[in-house]
Structure 1
Amino acid sequence: MPKKVASRGLDPLGFIEREGSHARVPHVFRPVVAAARDRLLDVFGARLDSAYLYGSIPRGTARAGHSDLDLVVVLREEPTGADRDAARALGEAVDKEYAQIDGVGTLLFSRARVLSEVERHDIGWFVACLCTPLLGEDLAEFLPRYRPDSLLARETNGDLAGLLPRWRERIAAAEDTEESLRPLVRFMSRHLVRTGFTLVMPRWNGWTSNLREMAEAFAGYYPERAGQLRRAAESGYEPVGDRAVLRSYVDDLGPWLADEYARVHGVKAPRPPGWD
């Protein structure tokens, strides 16, 4: 019999398959998901267009006491500052009540933004391929199928050069404590690993959300930087609050990755003001 070829997250036609489902949510996290769903309805009511889960919980890889609950909330109009405050308060309340999770992260967008042409290969792709429907109409029905091509790479992570100055400001403002630095290491590590992966994604021809698999895919094309991305992948899962790690990201790995990304894929298309 011929050897079976790994799908690498693609369907038989070469499109990225949607990851995650309610069936994969570990039993221990199901009460958390139910609580979040009910409270989103209470907070946003008729203004809520749709809501989604993403991350390790719907992928079935979450660890009780270590993983966070990741949500996307789509409103019928552009989110306001009050909406973001309400989402933050909801997340803090759920996090406090359920020991199974280590934090709640909520992204807010408008329906128009998710379905806009400029966001089709960024937020649109994210909702269609990486998010699991929780409430309302599934906007994936209005979006195309996606291949792991250079356009997708450019529009998802082709903005690293513009992010690095903000990262430097956040690092400079952070206190020298584990509590302050650890979340920054986790966030920046994950972002750099994902950027390294999407840099090579069209050549690797597939999709994965596993940070270690991302780092290994990258290593096949940039062996001279492989060690840095592998260490970043580990820090994405088990971060330590180390300012030296953060400085290496914004002084070395990040600038190199931004330059190489622009050379290979180009720079992400500009977004309207307020869409950062």
Structure 2
Amino acid sequence: MTETVRRPRVHRPGLDSQGYIEREGSLGGIPHAFRPVVAAARDRLLDVLGPRLDSAYLYGSVPRGTARVGRSDLDLLVALRDEPDDAGRDAVQALGADLDRRFGQIDGVGTLLYSRARLLSDLETYDLGWFVACLCTPLLGEDLAEYLPRYRPDSRLARETNGDLALLLPRWRDRAAAARAPRERLRLVRYTSRHLVRTGFTLVMPRWNGWTSDLHEMAGAFAQYYPERAGQLRSAAVLGYRPSADPEILRTYVDDLGPWLAGEYTRVHGTKAPRPD
């Protein structure tokens, strides 16, 4: 009788046993130093948005448990029962500024504001929907992930998450030219560095067949397929955590690495479906 040879199951980072991306982050994983900030954010969101609030989420390093005191920002995503307006945007911006002033543990607050309808729309299923279902930790209200599918690290997901880099580069160029103060440049370098590393990672994500939110791991995965650009992405990963105000970094991003990455992304995965905004 021939014995069946069973190959050992290869565990892919960030995936469950069926190959779907696992949801990252948890309220229980929030570092102790950041728990007062999260509690204040939760209470203030209820006060500021009232009945307009459908649900709210944390994302980023705080719910992943990797936030660093005095260096990490607090990232929030808020779903409204109606479409966001200027009053709602101003309210959450003021809320973020207030939290930033009150809590030295954080370096800024970023809040994404969308309607429930948009987050659950067909157009956003493989972009904002995936973001909610896989990268966001429920904080308030109903969890919209219950209405969304499970996700694999495939080309469709790559295209719809980061297939619009070419549209962003002109805006980055304008923001870089306008950023005079070192603090402005620091924040812009941090943001653009992270965005480029994540785009480089999702470019190779279907081949790598896994998921991670760690910038160094992302750059390492990218390096396996594009060794000639590996040094640039590894440097961007470092700057994503510890940014520099050197304006030459932004120039390199918008004139060299960014355009190359946008072109290669389009070649491999195509272009992201147009959005109304």
TM-score using structure 2 length: 0.96
SS of residue in 1 equivalent to 2:256: helix
> What is the CA deviation profile of residues 207-258 of structure 1, one whole-angstrom value per residue up to 9, with x for unaligned ones?
1000000000000000000000000000000000011010000100000000
Provide runs of 4+ in structure 1 moved above 6 Å: none
> What is the CA deviation profile of residues 28-81 of structure 1, one whole-angstrom value per residue up to 9, with x for unaligned ones?
111111100000000001110000000000000011111111000100011011
1:157 to 149, 153, 162: 162
Match of 1:217 in 2: 221
Aligned-partner Cα distance in 2 for 1:41–1:28 = 22
Match of 1:82 in 2: 87
Aligned-partner Cα distance in 2 for 1:35–1:178 = 29
The 5-angstrom pairing of residues 1-276 of structure 1 reads: 5-175=10-180, 177-272=181-276, 275=277
SS of residue in 2 equivalent to 1:33: helix
Q: CA deviation at 1:99?
A: 1.1
SS of residue in 2 equivalent to 1:51: strand
Q: CA deviation at 1:4?
A: 7.1
Give 5+ residue unaligned stretches, structure 2: 1-6
Give 5+ residue unaligned stretches, structure 1: none
Aligned identity (percent) is 73
Aligned-partner Cα distance in 2 for 1:152–1:216 = 20
Aligned-partner Cα distance in 1 for 2:126–2:158 = 9
Contact 2:11 2:17 in 1 (8 A): no
Aligned-partner Cα distance in 2 for 1:260–1:173 = 28
SS of residue in 1 equivalent to 2:114: strand
Aligned-partner Cα distance in 2 for 1:219–1:258 = 17
> What is the CA deviation profile of residues 123-151 of structure 1, one whole-angstrom value per residue up to 9, with x for unaligned ones?
00000000000000000000000000000
Aligned-partner Cα distance in 1 for 2:186–2:106 = 17
> What is the CA deviation profile of residues 163-213 of structure 1, one whole-angstrom value per residue up to 9, with x for unaligned ones?
1111111111111x3212111110100000000000000000011000000
Calculate the aligned-residue CA RMSD, in Å.
1.2
One-letter amino acid of the structure 2 residue matched with residue 146 of structure 1: Y
SS of residue in 2 equivalent to 1:9: coil
Contact 2:96 2:109 in 1 (8 A): yes
One-letter amino acid of the structure 1 residue matched with residue 25 of structure 2: G
Aligned-partner Cα distance in 2 for 1:107–1:213 = 25
Aligned-partner Cα distance in 2 for 1:101–1:229 = 26
One-letter amino acid of the structure 1 residue matched with residue 256 of structure 2: D
Contact 2:57 2:140 in 1 (8 A): yes
Quick check: which has more Rg, 1 or 2?
A: 2
